[in-house]
């Protein structure tokens, strides 16, 4: 029984749009920094930092890896905090945790921008600047980590099993739309490298006020004195979805975090122009995502996993095109294929996972999935930065190869289960 059935609350378009906007804001907040951090990091000379190793073992210059490690450490913080926030939403309610995360994002962004501004002005430099940026991003990630699991659990609470795929599909579509639109704010780097982050902070705060005004609270099913059920990443009910989420978002983080460098180096343009081209690519990818969502996902009535299998080849092809790209049109085509595939797979993955657990576990599961995505965004940029140091195309070849292996595994697994069912 859903929360809406218990309380007599019927979902309205107003509350659903508010919930969708909250998820879109989360997606934008997670990735807007991806579009500017590569160029901002170079402007702050983070790629020139030389770190002295202990015990007289010498020194190391991380180059692009130093910059991508900022995103990795942020994602690690999200990975740690999200499961706790998801369980907390089971106990304290979804709405307060959604608002807390959105407002926390705005506050955390102001702190990060303040540190970055000191770096751009030369007040903070070198290792002290890098450490300050890391601390500000970690604080930022912990504050914002509650919105995603609480919003996903809210949607699971107010939809029946038969409505779950479409409901989660729409919400994940808005989240992924935000993931794509966030980097599009990089167009405003002509004002300042930090302007896109200030804009996103304002958006997050406005959406928080909308949630406070328009989203009704739900009754809390888990009492404060009720024992919390421990949820493991390796629970057989949903461990496949956890693994797929880690792989998808790990590859996503690896590719998106290096695209800023890739566009700048491949097209031989400056940092501001690279950010704007990246913004254009994200708009194209977002348009493809919307087309997939409204022409395919919302009309689809079959099993979610079948939809996921159909979406993965588009992502694989997009990665392959990126690896072979030499011109801007090829880059844009690759990003459109990627966006189309992500719309199919993200919606199907989220819907499949929610059907595996009980209603009082939705917050915990949403926290695990959000945490897994955060872990992917931690590992992905580190791997991508390391591969990029060897060759700019290597992150995209790696992503295409891993995605192809996933496709083969799911196809083989599907045929095996089909044979057992006969």
| DSSP for residue 61 | E
The radius of gyration computed from the CA coordinates of the chain, to the nearest angstrom, equals: 21
pLDDT of residue 78: 79
CATH of the domain at 125: 1.20.1250.20
Number of domains in the chain: 1
pTM strictly above 0.75: no
Calculate the alpha carbon distances from 211 to 19, 94, 295, 320 in Å.
7, 11, 29, 40
Which of 190, 208, 75, 92 is CA-nearest to residue 142?
Answer: 75
CA 384 to chain centre: 16
pLDDT of residue 9: 59
Which portions of the chain are predicted below pLDDT 70? 1-11, 50-62, 159-169, 172-173, 180, 221-230, 359-360, 362-364, 366-367, 417-422
Domain membership of residue 74 (yes or no) is yes
pLDDT of residue 86: 76
Domain membership of residue 36 (yes or no) is yes
Domain of 244 in residue numbering reads as 17-52+60-218+235-421
User: SS3 for 216?
Assistant: coil
- Concatenating the DSSP letter of every residue in 133-197 gives HHHHHHHHHHHHTTHHHHHHHHHHHTS-HHHHHHHHHHHHHHHHHHHHHHHHGGGGGGT-TTHHH
Domain membership of residue 354 (yes or no) is yes
Domain membership of residue 199 (yes or no) is yes
Domain membership of residue 11 (yes or no) is no
CA distance 9 to 12: 9
């Amino acid at each position: 029984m859903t929360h809406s059935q218990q309380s007599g609350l019927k979902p309205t378009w107003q509350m659903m749009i508010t919930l969708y906007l909250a998820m879109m804001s989360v997606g934008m907040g997670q990735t807007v920094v991806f579009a500017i951090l590569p160029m901002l990091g170079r402007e702050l000379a983070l790629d020139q930092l030389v770190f002295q190793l202990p015990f007289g073992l010498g020194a190391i210059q991380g180059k692009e890896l130093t910059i991508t490690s900022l995103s990795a450490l942020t994602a690690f913080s999200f990975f740690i905090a999200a499961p706790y926030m998801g369980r907390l939403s089971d106990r304290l309610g979804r709405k307060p945790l959604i608002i807390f995360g959105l407002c926390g994002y705005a506050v955390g962004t102001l702190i990060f921008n303040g540190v970055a501004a000191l770096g751009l002005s030369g007040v903070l430099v070198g290792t002290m600047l890098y450490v300050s940026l890391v601390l500000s991003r970690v604080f930022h990630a912990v504050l914002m980590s509650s919105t995603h699991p609480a919003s996903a659990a809210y949607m699971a609470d107010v939809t029946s099993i038969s409505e779950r795929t479409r409901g989660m599909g729409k919400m994940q579509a808005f989240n992924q739309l935000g993931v794509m639109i966030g980097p599009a704010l990089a167009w405003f780097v002509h004002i300042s490298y930090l302007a896109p982050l200030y804009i996103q902070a304002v958006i997050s705060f406005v959406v928080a006020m909308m949630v406070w005004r328009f989203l009704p609270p739900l009754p809390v099913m888990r009492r404060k004195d009720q024992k919390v059920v421990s949820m493991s990443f390796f629970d057989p009910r949903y461990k496949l979805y956890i693994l797929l989420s880690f792989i998808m978002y790990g590859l996503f983080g690896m590719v998106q975090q290096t695209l800023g460098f890739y566009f700048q180096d491949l097209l031989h343009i400056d940092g501001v122009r690279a950010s704007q081209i990246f913004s254009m690519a994200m708009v194209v990818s977002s348009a493809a995502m919307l087309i997939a969502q409204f022409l395919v996902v919302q009309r689809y009535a079959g099993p979610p996993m079948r939809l996921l299998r159909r979406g993965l080849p588009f992502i694989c092809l997009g990665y392959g095109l990126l690896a072979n790209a030499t011109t801007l049109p090829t880059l844009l085509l690759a990003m459109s294929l990627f966006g189309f595939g992500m719309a199919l797979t993200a919606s199907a993955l989220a819907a499949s996972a929610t059907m595996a657990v009980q209603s009082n576990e939705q917050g915990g599961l949403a926290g695990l999935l959000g945490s897994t995505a955060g872990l992917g965004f931690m590992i992905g940029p580190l791997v991508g930065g390391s591969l990029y140091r060897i060759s700019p195309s290597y992150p995209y070849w790696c992503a295409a190869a891993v995605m192809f292996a996933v496709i083969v595994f799911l196809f083989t697994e599907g045929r095996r289960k089909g044979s057992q069912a006969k």
